[in-house]
Structures are given as structure tokens and as C-alpha cells.
Chains A and B, each alone.
Chain A
């Protein structure tokens, strides 16, 4: 299948290895990945912080750049949520009829990685190998906006060699919330402390999730506290093979 990758501005800049993993994984499964180079950002930060008109040009760009694709994947639950749920809101409020129509066509074709694999491509075993103790944090947007349910866990359970540890209070928010962490630093830190405590209690070596923004937040504290627990995007675990372990 021909799949377009929306890398997200955040992953592009800070976590290119996640994008490389998505490409590697999908190519290994026999698909063709395309990267429309004119892409930039989904507008989530602007939208969530109240700067809607500023997000409009990003919505426009997204709809235009991805117009020709039947299937778009993005390794971020919150960006997928933004596109599917809110591009319509912005187009409706500030855009024209043409933009609205374009958004209606493109948005439903955008999938977060686990949705793409399980729902669209119909695989749960991607033939990955990752011999480590891992715990999974279901990010809020994946959980409650996209409703990915246990798809990421089904994918993880099929990984060979993996030792999956259950995360207590898994559905509790990590306290990131984009600019929330900057506007309400004390509450954010209190929530983070509880999340980190839960992660530590699992005895896992690696924390994984479907969104690098939440992972950056949590691992920022895991690192600062020198817990020795690493973090990896779901895509990177799914892309790992026996060859990598050797």
C-alpha cells in the first residue's frame, strides 16, 4: 500500500529516529512510504493554546499537501487527534467552503500508527524482536480522542522477547498537556511525579508510548532522577528486529 507519512514538526526536529523507524517498519511490511516534503505542522499547539486564526494556515497546508493520498500515518496520537477532530473546527470557523470540503476528505484518512497497523493493514504481529522489560503508557489523546483501545498493547504483546509490565494507573494523565506544562508548571510537575512513580514501580527498563511529546515529558524526569529507565516510541520497538539485537 502507498502510505504518506506525516512526521509532525516535533518528531521531525527532536525525534527523527521515530520517523525512520516508521519508514523501516512499513517498508519491512511491504508498503511504500512517501514523505510529502511540503508538510509542516498540524497546528495543535496554536489551537490548544487559543490561537485559532494562527492555526488556519497550517490546516490549509495540511489539507493541500496530503490531498492526493488515500492513507496517511503519523506517529503521534495527539497530532492525529488534532487533525481528525479539530481541523474541521478551524476550517468551519475561519476557512472557506473549499477548505472545509478538503478537510472533510483528508482528515478521516489520517491514522495514528497503531490504528494504521491494526485497522487498516490488519496486522498485530509485525515480526519485531525486542528482548527487554517494557511498560506502556497510553497517552490521553490516543486513549480518549482516538480511542485506540488496546491496539498498541496487542502489537506489543506480539513482539518477540519482550517482557511487558503492566503500568499502574495507566490511564492517568502525565501532566504534559502542551503549553499546560508551561502555564501550570507546579500542577504539571505534581502529575508527572505520580506518573514517574508508577513507571518506576513496574521494574521496566523502557517506557513506551505512541506520542513523543508525552514521552519527552516523562523521560525528562526519569533522566533527571537518574532512574536508568529509558524511553522509546512504540514505532521504534515495533521496528526493532533480531538483526538489531545482534
Chain B
């Protein structure tokens, strides 16, 4: 795997999940912001899903369409390329982040422009496009409100859909007041933290850019292989501006986003808004097919990004993560995400989907703690509109993480696990261990309770009491009371 894949996908130098989570959990304001936001979206999502009598059938067809799309990915992509080209667009193939950045930077440079407006896009974050453009002397303006907040704060996104979910209104007001001027039109005098006022300030700030900038960069939610149509759904209309006003449009799309046919959109345009924002429809659905004379961008480029995806496809269990439509429902229902926020995952893709996608795209060695950042409670699986069995992939990747560390010198954990396996191998070894454990436990306990535990268990006992092992095991009781029976 190329170093560049991991470089932008995983934030190098950030601590492992448990460590980052410690800081996040201790941040009361962050926890309150997250709790409020995820709960609101969660409640809306379940109401709106319940409204459709065929919700489960929709999920089943979505999963089937995606599975089919991935199984014949090569065919669909070649069809897509042909259709886009026929419609007047140009298709580029990028094997990794570096190549994608090179292509986009080259395309912008060829226009002679030094600025681009951007529709919120995970793919361009994944490759670190803004930084690459900056290096080439090109300024990228994020136009999604939450993305703008992140950009102004020189921050990192912490949610797939609501990248600034970790900020509350007054934090955003302060940010607008302090940072907008450096990027263009300053915030109005006496800006309040009223959502409408904040939106208005952002609108005025962004409008200047929409009217001036000649090149736009977008991601894509879907692309239909049969017609070459690319789709972006959004809530604010800024995407629509970027997709129609500029002369040149460059779309960067992960190769897994292709759908076999235009008709497949029907399923996803019902599932996605309900799963993501708890809305019946996305306020703005933009579809474009190549270029149209005299209307919209006259120059359209589609960059198809691999960046670890074909490698992921090779893993028969893990590949299902590529079916993700980035709705973020799994984040909003995840109890771990709710307590830690997205930054703790140290990746562009946080939450449950990040925990399974990031280690696969970047290589497990770049995110070894992520598959363990879950209690396996299964809430993500139930919420996922394309039925990705996230817990299944998590345990699968855990096994890969453990196996990658197996060597001549076992880790401390591996030794414990081996010892436990040996203990549990036969009833005799288990009984012996129970006997020793019970004796030790009783010696250390007060009134049947252990208040502090040794070694790796010390963390546990900082906040919890533990029952001392019982005086007699069940096994011993059974032997006493059921002498004749059993085997």
C-alpha cells in the first residue's frame, strides 16, 4: 500500500483510539453537543423510517444492488466511463491519493484559475485535496456550512454528514466573527448565535465566491453506469450553486459509488435522506450527465478513485464496507461515537463505518486500534440502510489485527489469551483454575467484593466493584447434588 493512502486518510501522529477517547470523554461540552445532536437525528431517523411500510424491503434491495455493483465493479466502471465520455465529459483513473491530487491540481492549473469552490466531499478529504491544492498555490473554498465551519476553525471534520457536530452555536458565532475576514467577506457586526443569523452570515460570505470562482470540485453520492449520470444530494443548495455556476466541474468519486443503472437511484433516494438527516427527501438533488451546451459547466471531469478500494474488494468479509452510502446513521446510533466524537477515530471516516473502512483502505497497520473501538452492540447494523454487518467486519478485522502481530515473540495480550485458552481446554484445567482463583479472590475480597484488581484489570476496578469468585462453582454443586446423573 502506498504511504500516501494512509497519510491523508488517517491523521498521522494522532494517538490510538483509547487514548484519544480519554480526552474526548473528559470534555463535558463536547459530550453535551454530541449527545444533543445525535439524539435529535436518531429520533428523526426512526420516525421517518417507520413511515415507510416497505422500509425493510428497501434495505434489502439497496443491499442487493450494492452487492451486484461491487461484484461486477470493473464492468460497471467501464460502462460508466463510456457513458460519461459520450456525454461530453472526461474520465480519469486514479490509483491512489497522490495520483488523484496530481490529476485535479493539473486540471485546475490548466484553467489558469487559482481558486476553486467545493461541494462537501468525503473523497477529497480522504485524499487531502485541499492541502495538495494549497501546495500548488490554489485556494479551495468549502461551501457546505458545516465544512466551512471546520475550514474557518482550521479544524478537522468529526462526522460524515455534520462535520462540525462537535461545535455548538456560540462556538460557531465566535469562529465566524474571528475568522471569516481572513477568507473573504467578514461576519456582520454584532452577529448573534441565532441559527438564522449564522446561516445568513455564511450565505453572504459564500455568495461572493459562487459568483466569482470559475472552477468547482465536487464529490458524488452516486453515478449511474448506464447513463453516465452523476448525483449529489444535499440540504443547503450550495452544492447546486457549485454544480451549475462555474465553467469547469471536477468530480472526485470513489469507484465503489457506481450503480448499475439510473433506475437504481429510486431506492437510494428514499433510503439516504431518511437514514442521514431524517428527511423524506433531500432538499437538493442534483443530477448531471456530461455537459450541456450553453447550460452549466462546459468542461466536466470525473476522477475515479481507487485508493485502497480494490484491495478491500479482495477481502470477502470486509468488502461489504464498500457498500456504504455515507448516510452516517451508524454514527448517530453508536454509543461509542456518542461519547467520543469523531476526532478520536483519527480518520476522515469516523464512527462504526470508519472503524471498518479506514483500516481496510489504509491498511490495518495504520489503524490497529479502530476495529476494537466498539462494544459489538450491533446498533449500527440495525440502522444501516444497506445492511452492512459492521459487527461481523469488526471481529473479522480484529482477527486480522491480532494475526498481523503474531510472531516469534507473542504480545502480553497473546500470552494471556493463550493461557486462558489452555485453562478452558478441559474441565479439569478449568476446575483447577477456578479453585486457585476462588482462593485468591476470597483472600483479597471484603464481604465478597473486590475493590481493586491487579495488572490489566486495574482500569476496570477503578470504577466498578467485582464479585469475588463464589465459594463453590456450579460444577462442584452439581457434582454434590446430582451424583448419579450427568456425564
Residues of A at the B interface (CB closer than 8 Å) are 7, 9, 11-17, 19-20, 23, 34-41, 43, 45-52, 54-55, 57-58, 61, 86, 140-141, 143-145, 171-173, 175-192, 216-217, 219-221, 223-224
- Across chains A and B, the number of contacting residue pairs, with CB separation under 8 Å, is 196
Chain A at the B interface: mostly helix, strand, loop or mixed? helix
Q: B420 near A46 (CB under 8 angstroms)?
A: yes
Q: Which residue of B lies closest to A218 (CB)?
A: B464
Q: B335 near A189 (CB under 8 angstroms)?
A: no
- Flag whether B425 is at the interface (Cβ < 8 A): yes
Q: B17 near A217 (CB under 8 angstroms)?
A: no
Q: A52 near B421 (CB under 8 angstroms)?
A: no
Known contacts A57-B425, A144-B379; is A191 also within 8 Å of B335 by CB? yes
Q: Which residue of A lies closest to B477 (CB)?
A: A16
Q: Which residues of B contact A35 (CB under 8 A)?
A: 475, 478, 482, 485-486
Q: Which residue of A lies closest to B426 (CB)?
A: A40
Q: Which residues of A contact B479 (CB under 8 A)?
A: 37
A141 CA to B437 CA in the complex, in Å? 28
- Flag whether B412 is at the interface (Cβ < 8 A): no
Q: B464 near A54 (CB under 8 angstroms)?
A: no
Q: B18 near A37 (CB under 8 angstroms)?
A: no
Min CB gap A171→B, angstroms: 8
Q: Which residues of A contact B402 (CB under 8 A)?
A: 49-51
Q: Which residues of A contact B373 (CB under 8 A)?
A: 184, 187
- Flag whether B466 is at the interface (Cβ < 8 A): yes
- Flag whether B190 is at the interface (Cβ < 8 A): no
Min CB gap A220→B, angstroms: 3
Min CB gap A196→B, angstroms: 10
- Flag whether B245 is at the interface (Cβ < 8 A): no
Q: B377 near A144 (CB under 8 angstroms)?
A: yes
Apart from A45-B417, A140-B379: 9 A-B pairs, beta carbons within 8 A: A13-B434, A34-B485, A37-B475, A38-B427, A43-B424, A144-B381, A171-B379, A173-B335, A179-B372
Q: Which residue of B lies closest to A191 (CB)?
A: B335
Known contacts A40-B425, A184-B17; is A12 also within 8 Å of B464 by CB? no
Choose the segment among B121-129, B205-213, B235-243, B393-401 that binds chain A (4+ C-beta atoms closer than 8 Å): B393-401
Min CB gap A154→B, angstroms: 22
Q: B417 near A184 (CB under 8 angstroms)?
A: no
Q: Which residues of A contact B486 (CB under 8 A)?
A: 34-37
- Flag whether B112 is at the interface (Cβ < 8 A): no
Residues of B at the A interface (CB closer than 8 Å) are 17-18, 21-22, 25-26, 31, 335-336, 339-340, 369, 371-379, 381-382, 395, 398-403, 413-414, 417-418, 420-421, 424-427, 430, 434, 437-438, 449, 451, 456-457, 459-460, 462-467, 469-470, 472-479, 482, 485-487
Q: A50 near B434 (CB under 8 angstroms)?
A: no
A39 CA to B430 CA in the complex, in Å? 10
Q: Which residues of A contact B465 (CB under 8 A)?
A: 219-221, 223-224
Min CB gap B418→A, angstroms: 7
A173 CA to B449 CA in the complex, in Å? 24
Min CB gap B399→A, angstroms: 5
Central interface residue in B372, B403, B426, B472, by most chain A CB within 10 Å:
B372
Q: Which residues of A contact B426 (CB under 8 A)?
A: 38, 40, 61
Partner of A9, one of B371, B430, B438: B430
Min CB gap A152→B, angstroms: 17
Q: Which residues of B contact A41 (CB under 8 A)?
A: 424, 430
Min CB gap B390→A, angstroms: 11
Q: A51 near B417 (CB under 8 angstroms)?
A: yes
Min CB gap A208→B, angstroms: 16
Q: A54 near B417 (CB under 8 angstroms)?
A: yes
Known contacts A48-B398, A182-B457, A186-B21; is A173 also within 8 Å of B473 by CB? no
A214 CA to B92 CA in the complex, in Å? 52
Known contacts A13-B437, A38-B487; is A183 also within 8 Å of B18 by CB? yes
Q: Which residue of A lies closest to B375 (CB)?
A: A177
Q: B459 near A176 (CB under 8 angstroms)?
A: no
A43 CA to B479 CA in the complex, in Å? 24
Q: A144 near B378 (CB under 8 angstroms)?
A: yes
Partner of B376, one of A7, A20, A37, A177: A177
Partner of B372, one of A58, A140, A143, A183: A183
Q: A16 near B470 (CB under 8 angstroms)?
A: yes
A140 CA to B376 CA in the complex, in Å? 8
A189 CA to B482 CA in the complex, in Å? 41
Q: Which residues of A contact B371 (CB under 8 A)?
A: 50
Partner of A176, one of B375, B414, B456, B470: B375
A178 CA to B434 CA in the complex, in Å? 19
Q: Which residue of A lies closest to B464 (CB)?
A: A220
Central interface residue in B376, B378, B474, B477, by most chain A CB within 10 Å:
B474
Q: Which residue of A lies closest to B405 (CB)?
A: A50
Q: Which residues of B contact A23 (CB under 8 A)?
A: 478
Min CB gap A57→B, angstroms: 6
